[in-house]
Structure 1
Amino acid sequence: MNEKQPQTNSGEEPSASPELQGGHETEPRPTPRIYVASLSDYNNGVLHGQWMDAARDPADIYADINAMLAQSRQPDAEEFAIHDYDDFGVCRIGEYDSIDRVARIAQGIHEHGDAFAAWVYVSEGASERFDDFTEAYLGHYDSVIAYAEQLIDDLGYNHELDRLPESLRSYLRFDTDQLGRDLVFGGDIHVVPSPDGGVWLFDGRS
C-alpha cells in the first residue's frame, strides 16, 4: 500500500507549530528554519547556536553558521549540527543533513507549501525527484474517496449515467470506495495524510 504515515518534527529547541493550508496552499507561505549548534560547545555542556532561515542560498546559510561559530568561546569551534527545525511539515531533517539539501527542501516548501514536504517524504528524500513535484502533485483532498468522486466527475462518467433511462439510474452507481482502494493499492497514486486533516495526493507514475 502506498499510503504513507509521516512523523512530524521534534527536537531539542522549542519551536512554533506550522500552519498547514488545504487546497494548493497559496497562503501563508511556510518559513522553514533550522537551529544550528556548535558541536564543540555542545560537547562541553554549553548550548551555543542560532535559528536560521533555511529557505535561502546555501552560501548565505554557511555565512551565518560561520559567524555563529566565530562567536563561540571554544577555541576549536569548527563543527556544527542541526539540533532542531521548524516549519518543514511532514519532512524530517537529520542532524547531519547537508546544508545544500536542507536549503533545497526549504525553498521548495516556501514556494509550494507543505505539499512539497509531503513529496519529499514520498520521494524518500531522493533529491533528484524534487523537481518532479509540479508534475506529480494532484492536490489536497478530504480523502481518497473525494478524489475518486472528482475523478469520475471530471471524466464525465456521471453525465453518461444521466443519459440512461430514469428507470435504470437507481440501479447503477459508481463504487468510489473500491475505485479509491484500487488507485492506492495499484500504485496509481501516493497518499500522505496531512496532520491538519485530509490527504496530499501524488501521481504514482511520476
Structure 2
Amino acid sequence: MWTMEELIDRVRAALTAEYSGAPNGRVRDLPDRRSIRWYSTIGLVDRPLGTRGRNALYGPRHLLQLVAIKRLQAAGRTLAEIQAELGGASEEALTDLARVPSDLLRVDPESAPPAPAARPPFWKAPPAPPTDWVFPDPAPDLSASLAPPTFHRTPDVPAPPADPGVLPADGLLTGVPLGAGVVLLVPGSLHLDVTDRAELAAAARPLLDLLASRGLHR
C-alpha cells in the first residue's frame, strides 16, 4: 500500500503523458492532501485501507479514482457531474476511464495492512435489547425491622425517536453517492467499504425512481 505522498506521486506519473490540466483555473491540476480528504468525506474517493503508524494507506482503487476525477475535470465536468458518474463505479469502469499504466498499479504485498474482521452491514444488524434497570427500595430502618430490602423492576420506557436534524457527536458526515446526483449522508464514524456502498445504492433505487417520477431530481 502507499502513503498519501506516494499516492500523489503516482497520480502525477499517471497524468504526465496525456493530461493537459483542468480548464477551470480554480481547480488544481494535481490533488493535494486537503482535496483527497475532501473527496473521501463526500464519498467520491474511498476511505483509506488502513494505517501504518500515523500514515493512512491507499491502494490501486484510490489511484484510479483520483486520476479519473482529474481526467473528467480536464474535460470540463463539474464535481457534481463527476459524483453522479463515478458513484459506485466498478473497477473495470474506473480502469477504462483513468487509463493508468499497469506498472503504477502494482503494490508490494508485504505493505498491505492486516485485513479487517468481517462485519455485517450496519443497517442489517438487529437492534440491541433494551436494558432493564433495577433499583433497590430505600434502606429500611433497622431499628424498626430486620427485613431485607425489596427490589422491583422499573417499567419499560421507550427511547425517544432520534432527531434526524441533529449531527453526530463529532459533527462529521460521510457522503454516499446513490446515483443521479443524490448523496446519502451518514455519520463519519461509520466506515463503509465498497460492498456497503454498492448495497446502499441498490437499496436506494426505488427511492430514486420515485423522486424521478415526481421531478425531484434530474
TM-score surpassing 0.5? no
Q: Name which one, 1 or 2, has greater alpha-carbon Rg.
A: 2
Q: Which has the higher contact order (CA 8 A, sep 6+)?
A: 1
Task: Return the structure number with greater strand share.
Answer: 1
TM-score using structure 1 length: 0.27
